[in-house]
Amino acid sequence: MPSFTIGEEHFLLDDRPFRILSGALHYFRVHPEQWADRIRKARLMGLNTIETYVAWNAHAPTPDRFDTDGGLDLGRFLDLIAAEGMHAIVRPGPYICAEWDNGGLPAWLFSDPEVGIRRSEPRYLAAVDRYLEQLAPILVPRQIDRGGPLILVQIENEYGAYGSDKAYLEHLVAVNRRIGLTVPFTTVDQPGDLEAGSLPTLHSTASFGSRSTERLEVLRRHQPTGPLMCSEFWDGWFDSWGQHHHTTDATQSAKDLDDLLAAGASVNIYMFHGGTNFGLTNGANDKGVYQPIATSYDYDAPLDEAGNPTEKYWAFREVLAKHAPVPEEAPSVSPPSPSASVTVSESASLWGVLDALGGVVERNEATTTDALGVYSGFVLYEADVELLAPALLEVGEVRDRAQVFLDGVPIGVLAREEHDVSLALPAAGAARLQLLVEDQGRVDYGRRLGEPKGLIGGVRMDGVAVRGWRIRPLDLDRVGEALGELSPSGGRVVGPAFARARFDVEEAGDLFLDTTGWGKGVAWVNGFCLGRYWSKGPQRTLYVPGPVVRPGANEVVLFELRGGTGEIAFVPRADLGHTEY
């Protein structure tokens, strides 16, 4: 069987020097029927390896479940890499960051407030052990020494930026070995965190996106022997709602890659293909201001969100050809997607379909959503109040956005990113106070990992606690049941409401849903959740993967929180918004 080891100067494949030319491709951000296409295009660019994180929380939505079907079939993904004649690097975390919800850590971990993440805390380590044991049947038989593609496994992720618990890292090494992993282990850190984030027994790699020679020199000073590797060569950046669309200059990125390869280093391009935060999977950052990540994870990568080669693809391919063989075959660019415009044919107010979206939990206090075992999406809080005069509504903290209503009439919004905690209520007599709270994505980096969602610290009206709450988590997996309640629409949609339109296409293929004219919400095509949209941008389109589309009749459904024109359009190509230029 083949072997892969770390030598004094090089990675060694069957005892011969081997340079890793890898690209990041997250299986959980790409429709599974498109995995093979994206992998093949990586090889055609000149790469020999595919790297992926493993999103623990995607596989384990509850402590007693571990899903590996469909878009979570990591084994199939690795087999497709092998079928393309490529190698694989797997980064199972348990923490991954990745601008992914909660950095990949399951929110149910934090149901015990004493649990201690990313350190040597027994309850956390026990959960991590179970997770890695569940991965073992997928990873162990696919290692290179057993005929599979897997050549490296990463321990933790940029740990030096978070902690320095060496016993924790040693535990991760031990459990990964115990489950049967025999390939070399690595760590990754930014150059200034290399010492804290690794162990002498692990091979250190660096993460950076510029000044390659300088950063490699720092890595070499930290680790005098062994192959140099940048295992996150940042060729772009992610977008957050309300910001601009991030791009990097293709020529400069190619030069930085050339400098890295000229120094003899191996590389993992982050990202080769970014993909999409389908559903409600995006993460967030909070360094004083909460910033949820956008749905598109295009990342300005060589392969764009729809899988088409970009200017950066060709620039990188030219650089790679200077240092290694590149296939003569080159990928083609897909033609523009079909355009269409349809009118919403059916809609229904949220208030009329609530019973189809799940039951009510009664609590005296306005508790967090986590306390209800709800870790994502939307939750409606309702309480009966009496407003004989205008009053001040106060919430300790909203995580992350609360639309406030009285008897279904909108009063205002409390937004976490604006640090809103109070709102004036008009005199309304006896009324039903309603707060529709959206979890816009859990923080994926830093000290706010695992924080609870919903209403924090209680709700008061003129300083008096509001009690007697009816709390209803909205199960958006049951949208199909709610659709049975839709009525013919008269055009414009007033949110919060569900809206449906039907459209025809001649043949299946990628589409781009134009969200212009709509406010904020979630979209589905043929039952597949495309993710969130928001008029504050930057992105103005949602990517619809071709495998979701059917020849002939199709349907699009919106859960619109504010309101829309009633027109739904599909456009020829993506519009990810304005840049800073």
Residue 257 included in any domain? yes
CATH number at residue 509: 2.60.120.260
Structural element, H or E, at residue 176:
helix 166-178
**pTM value > 0.85:** yes
For residue 70 the two structure tokens come to: 């469909």
Do the Cβ atoms of 383 and 432 come closer than 8 Å?
yes
DSSP class of 157? S
Give the chain's domain count: 3
Please write the tens of the pLDDT for every residue from 219-240.
999 999 999 999 999 999 999 9
Chain CA centroid to CA 287, Å: 19
Q: What pLDDT is recorded for position 429?
A: 95
> Catalytic annotation on 382?
no
* Number of helical H runs and strand E runs in the chain: 10, 35
Residue 581 included in any domain? no
Q: Which domain holds residue 187?
A: 19-323
Same domain (yes/no): 93, 218: yes
- CA-to-CA distance for 419 and 28, rounded, in angstroms? 32
Residue 333 included in any domain? no
CA–CA distance from 335 to each of 211, 298, 305, 510 (Å)? 36, 18, 15, 10
Same domain (yes/no): 276, 424: no
For residue 340 the two structure tokens come to: 């269409």
- CA-to-CA distance for 225 and 367, rounded, in angstroms? 54
Q: What pLDDT is recorded for position 215?
A: 97
Same domain (yes/no): 509, 442: no
Do the Cβ atoms of 425 and 461 come closer than 8 Å?
yes
Q: Region 322-348: what's the mean pLDDT? A: 94
Chain CA centroid to CA 485, Å: 32
Do the Cβ atoms of 472 and 435 come closer than 8 Å?
no
Question: What is the rounded radius of gyration, in angstroms, for the C-alpha atoms of the chain?
Answer: 25
Residue 12 included in any domain? no
Please write the tens of the pLDDT for every residue from 99-154.
999 999 999 999 998 899 999 999 999 999 999 999 999 999 999 999 999 999 99
Cβ neighbours of 114 (radius 10 Å): 8
pLDDT for residue 335 is more than 70: yes
CA–CA distance from 36 to each of 82, 366, 375, 574 (Å)? 11, 47, 32, 22
Q: End-to-end distance of the chain based on CA atoms, in angstroms? A: 52
Do the Cβ atoms of 34 and 251 come closer than 8 Å?
no
Q: What pLDDT is recorded for position 484?
A: 76
Question: Residue 222, class by beta-carbon neighbours within 10 Å (0-12 exposed, 13-18 middle, 19+ buried)?
Answer: middle
Sheet holding 528-534, edge to edge: 487-488, 346-349, 497-505, 552-560, 520-525, 528-534
> Catalytic annotation on 507?
no
Same domain (yes/no): 172, 264: yes
Same domain (yes/no): 456, 486: no
Q: What pLDDT is recorded for position 93?
A: 98
**Neighbouring-strand partners of residue 487:** 347
Same domain (yes/no): 431, 543: no
pLDDT for residue 581 is more than 60: no
Do the Cβ atoms of 4 and 151 come closer than 8 Å?
yes
Catalytic residue among 51, 99, 156, 158: 158
DSSP class of 142? G
Residue 334 included in any domain? no
Residue for token digits 């909205």?
A: 474
pLDDT for residue 481 is more than 80: no
Catalytic residue among 51, 99, 232, 394: 232
pLDDT for residue 487 is more than 90: no
Do the Cβ atoms of 364 and 469 come closer than 8 Å?
yes
Please write the tens of the pLDDT for every residue from 393-428.
999 999 999 999 999 999 999 999 999 999 999 999
Q: Region 421-439: what's the mean pLDDT? A: 97
Q: What pLDDT is recorded for position 427?
A: 96
Same domain (yes/no): 282, 345: no
What dihedral angle (degrees, nearest 10) is formed by the CA atoms of 204, 206, 211, 217?
Answer: -10
Please write the tens of the pLDDT for every residue from 156-198.
999 999 999 999 999 999 999 999 999 999 999 999 999 999 9
